[in-house]
Structure 1
């Protein structure tokens, strides 16, 4: 327990505390001058970074002129970064000027601008804390930082979040170990020259953060480019074997190209229109034998250099030949649309026509047809183009195979009683058939149930589902019981009702 003190002793203690506080606040002239030196250095650094950033934005302007399709979106982001950075910088500058003005203004010393009242502690505290300009500045800088991160590649956002020079923490540890707000930590009872230097450092962080993001956006313009210094022509012809009088169509491009910067392509002396790096050339062909397509491709690099490649492609003008193939097999099935591919050498796919005996045929796309047949036996597919018959081929016509009867996933034979009881009826699955989506419907059957210790139960169904007359018996089935399906009938996509015979299950 502390001993009581007389009033004189209490006064001495209070005076000691006041003197200690004054000593703590008595910042030496050397320290204040050091702040001035640092602040002037930061100001010069900010000018240098501004010049560097302006060079980046000038580079965007040049790249935009060369390739607006690719550069436009990235330049829009860069312009937003520049605008927001300038707004944040100007807000900091306005606070700096206000603090200096309230403390007595600037003076010139040895050719450098310095604060007159360097040691003033009241003005920064009053403006930043009492007038709440500090929290407002903190919110502005946080928003600016968030907007910067929104302009970087999402994959790189976490790395930028850690690397950005502008870092704003919510709480700081003071010398006394207690948490302090951002404003209190930076501006409470600090000399004017220190407050000005801190603001200058924040301006520097804004400029450096702007530079990081702007430079990254500039790099993204060519981030996915594949450099190439050699070029090879690429020519795609609809056909290299043509008949006299037909039209040759060729698509010409370079081996690597930009979708926004097109080359100049000349074929047989004709300058072609180029879109997305590709030009289309057409001409009627004449005379039998081997022919050549000749020309040049020229591409101008961003530095103005032009690279060239020659076009030298051979094609043949000759007699017609045809090819007919069944996509599923050399069989046509009744009740489904059979896809058929037909090509004729030297004939564009869109000009190929076809007909069929014993059925009908519909054109689905160039070279693609759907054939429908109705009777088993044989059918001929005839191919023509421009009114001329080119070829014919014979196909077998069959009914779709019979399905397999199942209860659940089980065919005839042994089946667990517990599994049988939860099924809803009899299924007819078509297995190992080339066509997808072909289904059979069970349209009728007779079910018989031989359960141990019970009378024989039976019922007739006119659908796949178990008839209601035997549902109770099915629910009580046990191992050892037997279930019979007789006179099963199914209906396929061809509309024909088929008799599937009988199946049975012994439950275990």
Structure 2
């Protein structure tokens, strides 16, 4: 636009062009702020998933430490210290984030394009050419966390893990374009828009969660499946009767076994009350055969199983009770899994009345639920709409009398599933060369039914790249191109996973995200 004489009309055109460029730059800046906000949300989702995984690991380890203190107490103590250090830094960062957003209304906290202020954090962290007490504490807390975690680990954990910890929580100065050292906190936080600083702190929180998962995985590798020593502290006598109630004149039959049943166990002696029944011990079980007696409740029997442990006799007591009942006048209905049935599944139900033949029992569910007989006293219940279903049972006794009873069950949806990579939850470390070949799955850990889930689609997010929607359970070409841009230490997040139960194609309402950390 330089050179020569410019007409008034050309000057006006040039001015309008400059105004247009300025408006475009402002628009693009705001879009960048939104991208920081969206990144923060995805990291928070991954943090929530990791928190569930961490809680499960710590609970499992605490249980093992109680069962096998000599083997697992040192690991449990170390994990407890690491979790305390991690939670303290996580909470500190959360408090800083809350303090710099205290003047933002709750409904505006997702209006990322308006979170442009740089004054709030600058006042909190910086004073002149130096730092405020809070700014120094921010840096000190990160340094102390890094050093404390490495100190707790000691010789445990791989060198790669320790290198990652040093890298993730490094506060070394950054280099300027002319080669000068710029303090880490100034380079990362001074003069930055508010949403940028919040996103950066959320990323540190994500690094804390990922570090915890990696450490626990290394510490517990190969340990949780080791069997504990055979002692009376973790083994007990268990009485298993053929049934818990008997008619007068019947014989009581059942078995007595040791917890963690061992068919190779050889006992020294078995006593039932004052009677020696050692000859009734076969294949790790004591077979009972005794008269039931007259009608009555809480008929108790007890005894002792004696075996040798480290050359010394070890006594394991057992005790149980049963009832002897008269002819029944009520039905017994029980869910094989629990007092809950699940919508979209075939729920096994057992229906019987003691002393009444199966062909004399007629069950009917309420509403639009369906009950299909599958065997002697066995049914499959497919719940319909609503929150409850009642099974009404009519039974004809040998005397000709008819009794009617009912049992109510709660109807629940299939619970939240968890996304998996190589059958692992949470953050799964693997080399970059292996990522393209993985299959994205979904599982229902600790669910009462062993269901096979099929993944229909998911979204994959590589740090710094656009999210990609994928149909099916394997990465498509577009996703692989984004994955190729990932670097070592990056955490690839797979979220918004859509899955169905494979047999009846029942949709799973929610599937937790799963992440892949690039190790090299």
* TM-score bucket of the superposed structures, by smaller chain: 0.3 to 0.5
TM-score (norm 1): 0.39
TM-score (norm 2): 0.38
Structure index of larger Rg: 1
